Structure 1
Amino acid sequence: MAHIPVAGAWALASTVQVIRVIARSLPNRLLTHTVATDSLFASWLSFGHLFDLVVHETDAPSKSRTTMGGVVTWDCAPPPTFSSTRLNKPMNETFEALLQEKQLRSLVENYSSATPTNCNMFVLLLNCASSLIHDKWAPDKKLVVFRDGHVHKQTGLLHEFHAGELDLGMVIDVTNGLTDVDLVNSLPWYLALSTVEWKGEIEPGIEIEAILETGAYLELAKQCRPDLVCMYGLLASPGGYSILYRSPFGPHTSREFDWGDVDALLAYIYTLYVPRPDLPSCDHTISRAITTNIYEPPTWNVCDGDEVYENCVTKDARDMTWVARVGTSPVTIKDTYRDVMACFREGEIYDILHKNGPAPGFLKVKKEYDVQCGGRPITVTCGNVMWVKKRLIMHTYGQPLRKCASLVEFLKCMYDILEAHRWAVQERNILHRDISIGNILVQAEDVEDGQEFTDLEYRPIFVNEVLNDDFRAPPMARLADMDNAAELDPEKAVSPTFVAKKRRVKVEPLRCRTGTPKYIARSPAIGLVLAMNGNWAVMPELSSDLAKKYRKAYSNNRCGMRVFADELSFHGGFHDLKLRMAHKDNRALRATEFRHRPRHDAESVFWCMVVFLLLAVPLGSPDQDAGEPALYDAWKLIGDHEIGSSTDCIDLRSRLLQSERWEEWLHEDLAHAGQLMCLLAVQVSPEWSMFVPPPHMFNLHEAMQRIILTHIHMWDGGEKDVKFDTERLRDPTDPYYWNYWELKRKENNVSPKSDLSGNTQSTSAAKLPGKRLADAIEEKEEPEAKRQNCTTEGTQADPYQLAFSPTCI
């Protein structure tokens, strides 16, 4: 099996996400052409299945939006008003006088008429225009200088991933005393104000690929600039040029302008000096920390009123979210953009959870507030949708789930996540609705502030207390990222925003499809009660010694499930064939009865286990091996999963629930965990709402926790407690992909195993540049930033970034 290093995949993840965001807005015929004709993007898209969208609920969308494949996009045609709505121009003036400047006019004429054109000519043209605009309209601003990326290599990309070189890089010169000597060898990405891609020639039919590539670079640059709200990019060729604008909503592109019309080009440069007052450009509460070495990874200072958090280190960056750790302390800052019409606020959810002190199993939070600039909140709009920038100050820092050191440790984490979630529903009426690998943290550290959890009578009881009688044993893992959470029972709701909203309008947030594609439960993925039913499962029983410990630990539990045992039933109920048949061909009924339930979040925990165990690498495994067809067969069922569209779609992940091939799919040293996954799959498979009477809301939590606890008890301390290599993941790439071996040969990274023709390939210990999975798989492939779908009354909602939830928050 090919193993891929964990460090450094975030940039690739977001690059792929940007490509997918743009690509999803293209007509099918163009998208087909794009994927089929360019090996670079084909390989990126082939790895794109490793990353996710996150789907959020929101109110009904504007009519200008369309849906494609269940994902909300905007119409792909460039808006005719791009220049007037995205670019700025001098008041009561034009650029006509500027074009009378002899040098600029000559450069424009030479560039537009030259055959062939070259990059150096374009650099001269841009710098001349920048200098003239600076002297005429912005003499008090720092000069914007364009640099040739062929000469000045770009460095300092987030997570040390280098996806290729821009033809031009643009930085603010003289910032921090920079000189030409400083920038002679490379351009730090965090100094980039914009990106420019110059194409010496764009062949007919591949214009879309050039836009995709430019958009990808723009996304990478934006990740490195948390102080910017939006960013501009430029794509130029001998035939003309286009301008890109990237906001938290995603990329927008202008039409192509020919070189006879350079007004838009000059307006683009002018806007870099004088941003539009109606479009927020910068967040002035974030500034770069002073450094003596511009080539070191930057740190940032974040102003929080009278307090300044110094030397913040970026841990996650996507279009909607930036997460940074304050130095080496446990303090973590999360900036994100949220729909002003959302029913719930993350800070209010945390207030409910922590009403009696910091709730075990969750992050400690200091406060949440709207980020302001000039006395007003920073907002971005698209159509009739408005997002506001919010900042969450957290007093917890943790590691991604991938850092679990062993199989038993991982199972303990899963048990404790189910327990924390169960407690939140039972005692706080809170439903998470977006459990994914990226939203689970381990090895968490807290700020010591003297606060204690005081609700001891009905506290969550975690696995080490059950097994070892360790009173108030801390959780092995914590649930993070409550920005999609909701209150389960609206009649008991206390969240101020939701309570106020439901007084004005009828809202049903639990009817919304919310989650991350790989991990979202099957029913919320399509917004319907499931028609199929799968296995009929009975409640698992614990061994006598384990049952004794279990009942002692939970003797004060109020839900009644801790001592539950099936007596000729299935979780206390029976499958009702008439009920199932009534729903099978009645889509409207299934949509009407759908609500997000606690068991759906428990199912998400199961999918987290699937992804983790499929990709886990036992410690000491060979560094490299060839792609594995068995792993790919399993991975393609979950790795390509997306949120269902308005018509019924087949959830391929269901095949993972019905199959008994787990021993074949998992790493050979983890084959014994196949039986565990089969037992869990039997419990996850049924549509439990089709049973009469319906089971308890924690029936799936209870079943999964009993199975997991049994295997922890059996494997703890024995040879079956496999140790993990926390720096690598198995490579689930299709070994039969048309250029799989070609790419490996080109990268000098072919395994010592015969290829498909029977010839033996050479080997190298080199890594796969440009194809590093990383804990990006666990980290809210957010990513992409968050996209939103809503099935209430058949509506669909707003775009959310491609991607991942923060790993370290």
Structure 2
Amino acid sequence: MSAHSCAPRLDSGAESMASASGIQNSDKVQHSGFLPVEEFVRDHLTPQPKSWGARRSRWRKKTQRIEEATGAEYKMYSPICKLLNAISKSTYEKYRNKNVELPYNNPIVFLDHHSVPSAHCDIEFKPVPEIVGVFASKEEIDSYTSIRNVYSDVPSYHIATFCEGKPKTISGADQAMRYTCQLLELRPDMPGVYGLCVNTKNYNIVWSDSSGPVTSAPIEWDDLKPLEAYIRSLYVPPKGHHLWDPSITSPTLLPLAECPDKKLKVHWNIKTEEREYKDCVRIHIGDGWGRRTTVFMHDDSSGNFAVIKDSFRDDRRRYEEASLLKHIHSEGTFPGVVRLIASGEVAGRDGSPIETARPYVEKEVDHWTKKRIVMGSRGSQLYAAESVREVLMTMYDGNEVLRALVNERDYMHRDVSINNFLTNAEHARNTLAANGFIKNRPLFIDDILGIDSPNDNEDNCRALIIDADNSALLPGPTHDHSLKYVNEELASRTGTPRYIARAVASGRLLKDAIDTRIYSRMPELEGKAKEVYIKTYGQDAYDAYTDVTANTYHGSKFQKPSKDIPLLFSHRPDHDIESLFWVLVEVVISALPLDAVDKHPPFFVQTWNVMEQHTIIYDQPSDSRSYILNLVEDGWEETLHPKLSPIVEMMMMLTSQVRPEYGLLDPPPKKDHLHEAFRRILLEQILAMEDDPIPLTPNMSRKPATAQKIGQVGAPRLQPALLKVVNGSLPTRKRKAEDEEAERNYKAVKLTNLYCS
């Protein structure tokens, strides 16, 4: 996936906010605005060593040409480079004379690079700063293309800092902050970066890491001490500021002829305590601000592989992905869940953990620590499926994995989405636990149908669940967390906007579900489907979930709450299954049958737009996706491609099971009740499609080229009793900042394999 542009919001040049994954309050990125110069210098720059002695700055004459560069801003670039290079050379020589260990054997050199983006740039929005600072040898610099000292192909992985120039007195602080975000995305080996913006009157210095950017107030050109401190900081960062991750080294280029997608790929070498992974390629690049998740793929010459995931974790978060994966696999390898090879904190050049910078005086500032996990599993997005039946078989297995995680490990994923619910699961060699698989291993669809495992290590699961970043534990005997600790986390809200369960998005039980008419009983099977079910799971398992008493729904009864009782929210296991349903909806409405003509009828466009435009709005009385839940048969017929008509009835049945608010049933139904409903419906449909799996065109989508407003198409094919909650346009209230990254992450998704080369 490609990263998106990181454009901070600025209020009078003083505030900037960038968002982080999910909607956890702990993931909000903060920016403290323009800091007073004295405070910025104290908190974020390296002071002059006492051994250097006190002396007046000798660079003042070099600033005159900058101040005199009126008119075209390109006239500033040469004098800026000369000033910065003079300070850099002097600083480098002083440090070398004092035998200070430096990150490179060459001084940092500032080059005019204003005409084109940097070369070998693997993020979607390529930065074009006017001046770039590179740690490069003379030979490397001579190899760059230049015309009259204007360079045009400086490799992105050589850029360590930059300078944004503006004419007259225009402030470039907003653009400079945006460039620091993009530089963090370009350089996975740089935990933090500095930037500079100048005009003819003054300059600003920017520090940026995962917790966000911070910018100095404008500094007049007659005060060059902060500028000298900026250059010193590039060589020897101040305490608590990490510019380099020594475990990521030696980037190289793969020749164009060897790249399947005809793009130059930057390769990285990554060291862990256990080993070094060479020639890793990034397959996911997260935002520079926030968790900054970066995923590398390593394939070795023997055909084995590893997936390496770097991210910054907010220290206030309760759960950590690696510890949750260890919990899941603690009693043996858990089928269908990504396998953990190694994990830990990442150390900086001084041996301390890489963390985001803390102010000199502690404030309300997020603090993040860099974590790394190495995994031995990968797969493809569901768009890679070769038939609708294959999609449903993956859904079946994923449902069984999520169910077993609840029952066996008291675990909820809480962020099921198209990006972390994969198919074509593959596992690296030597990743199966010494004691094998868990004792109560789930039965998957291939087990039921008698199909030999296509996967390594005898993992018969077609699905692969990854990304436990937002996961949580349920109350239960498999862990020792207190009930208060667990319940506090379950009351927090997280997820990806497009797939998040409706109650989670709203933060309370569903207000539009207080109606017995929307509740459905547990589906009952007949014929071959029932025969196969009972043969596989037994009659007792079937009877345990079947409604046999009048007016019961999944074994419970509806209790209309009093108006005085708040509809308190808490994550439940059925919320994961609702998210799984939304993944299925997206895949089937966009599925393109093999050799089929792609058409975009109005109901398809409207349904797609409902999914694409869904946002998280706090305490919203209804969810815009209710439009989809209220489609009746001919609405589904017009939404799906005509060749997918055999699954219309299945989608109607799944919808009837997802629509209710199960938090209003008393007593509460079994915690895996919705998993059971999905098991029955999916099994019946998979068996019915044995002779007609509906072949698909893999990795192709019916996604419409243009969007339409919701409400442009009438809604005669909706459930009449529920029309009032879905008519009209989507809500237009501004989303919270912490909701936006997950939505942007989705928009960056292309139909390519994830965790797969």
> TM-score by structure 2 length?
0.79
Aligned partner (choices 578, 581, 590) of residue 567 of structure 2: 590
Q: Which residue of structure 2 aligns with residue 225 of structure 1? A: 187
Aligned partner (choices 284, 298, 304) of residue 316 of structure 1: 284
Conservation of the 8 A alpha-carbon contact between 1:286 and 1:303: yes
CA distance in 2, matches of 1:75, 1:628: 45
Aligned partner (choices 340, 344, 351) of residue 326 of structure 2: 351
Question: Secondary structure at the residue paired with 1:331?
Answer: strand
Q: Read off the aligned partner of 1:707 and give its amino acid letter.
A: I
| Alignment map for 1:406-445 (pairs within 5 Å) | 406-445=387-426
Conservation of the 8 A alpha-carbon contact between 1:57 and 1:342: no
CA distance in 2, matches of 1:27, 1:648: 31
Q: Which residue of structure 1 aligns with residue 492 of structure 2? A: 512
Q: Read off the aligned partner of 1:807 and give its amino acid letter.
A: L
Whether 2:30 is the aligned partner of 1:74: answer yes
Q: Which residue of structure 2 aligns with residue 778 of structure 1? A: none
1:323-362 Cα offsets, whole Å, 9 max, x none, are 1112343211112222334332322222222223321111
Aligned partner (choices 68, 71, 95) of residue 116 of structure 1: 71
CA distance in 2, matches of 1:513, 1:666: 32
Aligned partner (choices 144, 155, 173) of residue 182 of structure 1: 144
Whether 2:189 is the aligned partner of 1:253: answer no
Give aligned-pair identity as a percent.
25
Aligned partner (choices 437, 446, 461) of residue 443 of structure 2: 461
1:722-749 Cα offsets, whole Å, 9 max, x none, are 4134055624642689xxxxxxxxxxxx
| Alignment map for 1:336-735 (pairs within 5 Å) | 336-373=311-348, 374-380=350-356, 383=364, 385-449=366-430, 451=432, 454=436, 458-468=440-450, 474-489=460-475, 491-494=476-479, 498=481, 508-533=488-513, 535-555=518-538, 564-573=546-555, 575-576=557-558, 579-582=559-562, 584=563, 586=565, 589-591=566-568, 594-620=569-595, 630-645=603-618, 647-648=619-620, 650-660=622-632, 661-670=635-644, 673-718=647-692, 721-726=694-699, 728=701, 730-731=703-704, 733-734=706-707
1:370-427 Cα offsets, whole Å, 9 max, x none, are 2223332222256364322222121223223332232221121111111101011111
1:107-141 Cα offsets, whole Å, 9 max, x none, are 42222233214225224313432332332344465
CA distance in 2, matches of 1:595, 1:268: 48
Q: Read off the aligned partner of 2:270 and give its amino acid letter.
A: V
Q: Read off the aligned partner of 2:499 and give its amino acid letter.
A: Y
The Cα RMSD (Å) is 4.0
1:485-530 Cα offsets, whole Å, 9 max, x none, are 22211x52426xx46xx79x79621111122222221122233222
By how many angstroms is 1:435 displaced?
1.2
By how many angstroms is 1:597 displaced?
0.9
Question: Secondary structure at the residue paired with 2:280?
Answer: strand
CA distance in 2, matches of 1:506, 1:546: 38
CA distance in 1, matches of 2:535, 2:638: 38
CA distance in 1, matches of 2:246, 2:406: 39
Q: Read off the aligned partner of 1:520 and give its amino acid letter.
A: I
Of the structure 1 ranges 304-313 and 636-645, higher mean CA displacement relative to structure 2 is found in 636-645
By how many angstroms is 1:634 displaced?
2.9
Q: Which residue of structure 2 aligns with residue 41 of structure 1? A: none
Question: Secondary structure at the residue paired with 1:313?
Answer: strand
Greater relative contact order structure (CA < 8 Å, 6+ sep): 1
Conservation of the 8 A alpha-carbon contact between 1:629 and 1:735: no
Of the structure 1 ranges 653-662 and 253-262, higher mean CA displacement relative to structure 2 is found in 253-262
By how many angstroms is 1:788 displaced?
8.8
Of the structure 1 ranges 536-545 and 72-81, higher mean CA displacement relative to structure 2 is found in 72-81
Whether 2:53 is the aligned partner of 1:91: answer no
1:651-686 Cα offsets, whole Å, 9 max, x none, are 322222223433434445545544433322221111
Q: Which residue of structure 2 aligns with residue 276 of structure 1? A: 238
CA distance in 2, matches of 1:801, 1:83: 36
CA distance in 2, matches of 1:113, 1:561: 86
CA distance in 1, matches of 2:220, 2:571: 51
Change (3 A) 1:697 1:167: same
By how many angstroms is 1:237 displaced?
4.2
Change (3 A) 1:287 1:688: same
CA distance in 2, matches of 1:561, 1:314: 49
Conservation of the 8 A alpha-carbon contact between 1:464 and 1:470: yes
Q: Which residue of structure 2 aligns with residue 750 of structure 1? A: none
Conservation of the 8 A alpha-carbon contact between 1:172 and 1:192: yes
By how many angstroms is 1:228 displaced?
0.9
CA distance in 1, matches of 2:178, 2:276: 33
By how many angstroms is 1:233 displaced?
2.8
CA distance in 1, matches of 2:76, 2:667: 76
CA distance in 1, matches of 2:700, 2:295: 21
Q: Which residue of structure 1 aligns with residue 275 of structure 2? A: 307
Change (3 A) 1:455 1:364: closer
Conservation of the 8 A alpha-carbon contact between 1:149 and 1:167: yes
Whether 2:58 is the aligned partner of 1:100: answer yes
Q: Which residue of structure 1 aligns with residue 754 of structure 2? A: 807
Conservation of the 8 A alpha-carbon contact between 2:88 and 2:109: no
Change (3 A) 1:358 1:117: same
CA distance in 2, matches of 1:144, 1:671: 63
Question: Secondary structure at the residue paired with 1:696?
Answer: coil
Change (3 A) 1:157 1:174: same
CA distance in 2, matches of 1:807, 1:393: 15
CA distance in 2, matches of 1:659, 1:94: 75
By how many angstroms is 1:186 displaced?
1.0
1:123-161 Cα offsets, whole Å, 9 max, x none, are 4313432332332344465222233334454221226x4
Change (3 A) 1:236 1:630: farther
By how many angstroms is 1:462 displaced?
1.1
Q: Read off the aligned partner of 2:285 and give its amino acid letter.
A: A
Question: Secondary structure at the residue paired with 2:47?
Answer: coil
Conservation of the 8 A alpha-carbon contact between 1:52 and 1:802: no
CA distance in 2, matches of 1:649, 1:481: 30
Question: Secondary structure at the residue paired with 2:669?
Answer: coil
CA distance in 2, matches of 1:258, 1:226: 33
Q: Which residue of structure 2 aligns with residue 758 of structure 1? A: none
Q: Which residue of structure 2 aligns with residue 298 of structure 1? A: 266
Q: Which residue of structure 2 aligns with residue 10 of structure 1? A: 2
CA distance in 2, matches of 1:518, 1:585: 31
Q: Read off the aligned partner of 1:482 and give its amino acid letter.
A: A
Q: Which residue of structure 2 aligns with residue 157 of structure 1? A: 121
> How many residues are matched?
682
CA distance in 1, matches of 2:486, 2:709: 51
Larger Rg: 2
CA distance in 2, matches of 1:633, 1:212: 37
Q: Read off the aligned partner of 1:121 and give its amino acid letter.
A: M
By how many angstroms is 1:694 displaced?
2.5
Conservation of the 8 A alpha-carbon contact between 1:246 and 1:252: yes
